[in-house]
Structure 1
Amino acid sequence: MNRSRALVGIGAVTVTALALAGCSAGGDAEPADLDTIEIMAPYLVTNAPEEGNEIETAVEDVVGVDLDITWVPNSSYGDKVNITLAGDDLPHVMVIQGKDPGFVRNAEAGAFWDLTDYLGDYENLATTFPEVQKASSVNGKVYGVYRARDVMREAVIIRKDWLANLGLDLPETTEDLQAIAKAFTEDDPDGNGQDDTYGIIVPKWPGTIGTNSPWDAMETWYGAGNRWTERDGELTPNFTTDEWLDAVQYERGLVEDGVVNADFATFDSANWNEPFLNGKGGIIIDVHSRAGVLINLFKESDPENFDQYVDVAGNLTGPDGELHALPTTGYSGFLAIPKAKVRTEAELRAVLEVLNDLNSAEAGPILNNGIEGVTYELEGDLAVAIDDAPQALKDTVLSYSQLGMNVTGFQGYLPKQASDYEQEMYDKRKEIEATDTESAEFDPSAPYVSPTYVSKGAQLDTIVADARIQYIAGQIDLDALKAAVELWRTSGGDDIITEINELASADS
Structure 2
Amino acid sequence: MKKKVLIICLILLAGSAILVAQGKSEAVADPDKPTKIEMWYNATQTEVGPLPDDWVGYEILKDRFNIELEASSIPSSTVDQDMKIQAAAAADTLPDFFVANREVWLRLAKNGMLADVTDLYAKMPNRTAIMFDEDAINFTTIDGRSYGFATPSIISRNEGLLIRKDWLDKLGLDIPKTYDELLDVMRAFTYNDPDGNGKHDTWGYGAFIEVNTYEGYPGRRFEPLKGMFGVEGTWNMKASEFGLQLHNPDFYDFMLYMKQIIDEGLIDPNWMAYKKDDFRAAWKQGKFGIMREQNSAYASANNYSPFDANFPDGEWVIVDAPIGPKGKSSIGPETRGLRIWCISADAAAQGKADKIVEMFEWMAHGEGYLLCGWGQEGVNYVLKDGIPVSVEGPIGFDGAVGQTYIQLRSMAFNYTSDMELTSRYPVYTTAVSKKQMSALWALREMQQKKWTNSMGADSMPVPSTDLKTFYEQGLAEFFTGKRVLTKANWDAFIAEFDRIGGKAWEKEGYEYAKANGYLK
Alignment of 1:32-47 (within 5 A): 40-42=38-40
Alignment of 1:103-252 (within 5 A): 104-106=107-109, 109=112, 111-113=114-116, 115=118, 124-126=127-129, 133=136, 137=140, 142-150=146-154, 151-171=156-176, 174=179, 176-184=181-189, 189=194, 200-202=204-206, 205=209, 209-210=216-217, 212-230=219-237, 232=239, 235-252=242-259
Q: Is residue 65 of structure 2 the alignment partner of residue 66 of structure 1?
A: yes
Q: Is residue 496 of structure 2 the alignment partner of residue 487 of structure 1?
A: yes
Match of 2:332 in 1: 325
State whether residues 381 and 388 of structure 2, in contact with CA within 8 Å, keep that contact through their aligned partners in structure 1. Answer: no
Gap change, CA 1:424 and 1:407, over 3 Å in 2: closer
Match of 1:419 in 2: 429
Question: How many residues align structurally?
Answer: 455
Alpha-carbon distance in structure 2 between the residues aligned to 1:60 and 1:78: 26
Gap change, CA 1:84 and 1:383, over 3 Å in 2: farther
Aligned partner of 2:485 among 473, 476, 481: 476
Alpha-carbon distance in structure 2 between the residues aligned to 1:128 and 1:169: 43
Alpha-carbon distance in structure 2 between the residues aligned to 1:130 and 1:246: 40
Aligned partner of 2:442 among 424, 429, 434: 429
State whether residues 135 and 447 of structure 1, in contact with CA within 8 Å, keep that contact through their aligned partners in structure 2. Answer: no
State whether residues 202 and 267 of structure 1, in contact with CA within 8 Å, keep that contact through their aligned partners in structure 2. Answer: no
Alpha-carbon distance in structure 1 between the residues aligned to 2:374 and 2:303: 24
Question: Post-superposition shift, 1:371?
Answer: 1.4
Alpha-carbon distance in structure 2 between the residues aligned to 1:279 and 1:182: 16
SS in 1 for 2:237: strand
State whether residues 42 and 399 of structure 1, in contact with CA within 8 Å, keep that contact through their aligned partners in structure 2. Answer: no
Gap change, CA 1:136 and 1:159, over 3 Å in 2: same
In structure 2, what residue type is equivalent to 1:236? G
State whether residues 332 and 452 of structure 2, in contact with CA within 8 Å, keep that contact through their aligned partners in structure 1. Answer: yes
Aligned partner of 2:266 among 260, 264, 271: 260
Aligned partner of 1:397 among 378, 381, 405: 405
State whether residues 102 and 459 of structure 2, in contact with CA within 8 Å, keep that contact through their aligned partners in structure 1. Answer: no
Gap change, CA 1:195 and 1:370, over 3 Å in 2: closer
Alpha-carbon distance in structure 2 between the residues aligned to 1:491 and 1:147: 34
Question: Post-superposition shift, 1:469?
Answer: 1.3
Question: Post-superposition shift, 1:282?
Answer: 2.8
In structure 2, what residue type is equivalent to 1:143? Y
Match of 1:496 in 2: 505
In structure 2, what residue type is equivalent to 1:426? A
Alpha-carbon distance in structure 2 between the residues aligned to 1:427 and 1:172: 25
In structure 2, what residue type is equivalent to 1:432? E
State whether residues 327 and 441 of structure 1, in contact with CA within 8 Å, keep that contact through their aligned partners in structure 2. Answer: yes
Match of 2:98 in 1: 95
SS in 2 for 1:223: coil
Aligned partner of 2:390 among 375, 384, 395: 384
Question: Post-superposition shift, 1:180?
Answer: 3.2
Unaligned runs of 5+ in 1: 1-24, 26-33
Match of 1:19 in 2: none
**Larger deviation, residues 180-189 vs 490-499:** 180-189
What do residues 397-440 of structure 1 show as CA deviations (whole Å, max 9, x unaligned)? 3354363252655864315465256652523322134334x834
What do residues 352-371 of structure 1 show as CA deviations (whole Å, max 9, x unaligned)? 78755632366432211111
State whether residues 124 and 360 of structure 1, in contact with CA within 8 Å, keep that contact through their aligned partners in structure 2. Answer: yes
SS in 2 for 1:446: helix
Match of 2:414 in 1: 406
Alpha-carbon distance in structure 2 between the residues aligned to 1:238 and 1:279: 33
Question: How does the TM-score come out when normalised to structure 1?
Answer: 0.67
Gap change, CA 1:102 and 1:430, over 3 Å in 2: closer
Aligned partner of 1:439 among 448, 451, 456: 451
Alpha-carbon distance in structure 2 between the residues aligned to 1:460 and 1:66: 48
Unaligned runs of 5+ in 2: 1-21, 23-30, 44-48, 76-83
Gap change, CA 1:38 and 1:152, over 3 Å in 2: farther
Question: Post-superposition shift, 1:486?
Answer: 1.6
Percentage identity across aligned positions? 15
Match of 1:299 in 2: 308
In structure 2, what residue type is equivalent to 1:456? D
Question: Post-superposition shift, 1:321?
Answer: 4.9
Match of 1:364 in 2: 369
Question: Post-superposition shift, 1:118?
Answer: 5.6
In structure 1, what residue type is equivalent to 2:476? D
In structure 1, what residue type is equivalent to 2:429? S
Alpha-carbon distance in structure 2 between the residues aligned to 1:204 and 1:354: 35
Match of 1:373 in 2: 378
What do residues 163-194 of structure 1 show as CA deviations (whole Å, max 9, x unaligned)? 223454544554553453355467775578x7
Question: How does the TM-score come out when normalised to structure 2?
Answer: 0.66
In structure 2, what residue type is equivalent to 1:155? G
Alpha-carbon distance in structure 2 between the residues aligned to 1:457 and 1:492: 7
State whether residues 315 and 326 of structure 1, in contact with CA within 8 Å, keep that contact through their aligned partners in structure 2. Answer: no
Question: Post-superposition shift, 1:478?
Answer: 2.6
What do residues 441-500 of structure 1 show as CA deviations (whole Å, max 9, x unaligned)? 4374532445xx3342343223542354157x9942233222212221112222322333
SS in 2 for 1:431: helix
State whether residues 124 and 408 of structure 1, in contact with CA within 8 Å, keep that contact through their aligned partners in structure 2. Answer: no
State whether residues 174 and 316 of structure 1, in contact with CA within 8 Å, keep that contact through their aligned partners in structure 2. Answer: yes
What do residues 103-158 of structure 1 show as CA deviations (whole Å, max 9, x unaligned)? 64446749533549968995643567989848953669653333433344433332
State whether residues 117 and 147 of structure 2, in contact with CA within 8 Å, keep that contact through their aligned partners in structure 1. Answer: yes
Alpha-carbon distance in structure 1 between the residues aligned to 2:287 and 2:298: 17
State whether residues 316 and 325 of structure 1, in contact with CA within 8 Å, keep that contact through their aligned partners in structure 2. Answer: no
Question: Post-superposition shift, 1:340?
Answer: 7.6
**Larger deviation, residues 40-49 vs 487-496:** 40-49
Alpha-carbon distance in structure 1 between the residues aligned to 2:38 and 2:400: 20
Alignment of 1:44-55 (within 5 A): 49=53, 54-55=56-57
CA RMSD of aligned residues (A): 5.3
Question: Post-superposition shift, 1:288?
Answer: 4.5
Gap change, CA 1:237 and 1:254, over 3 Å in 2: same
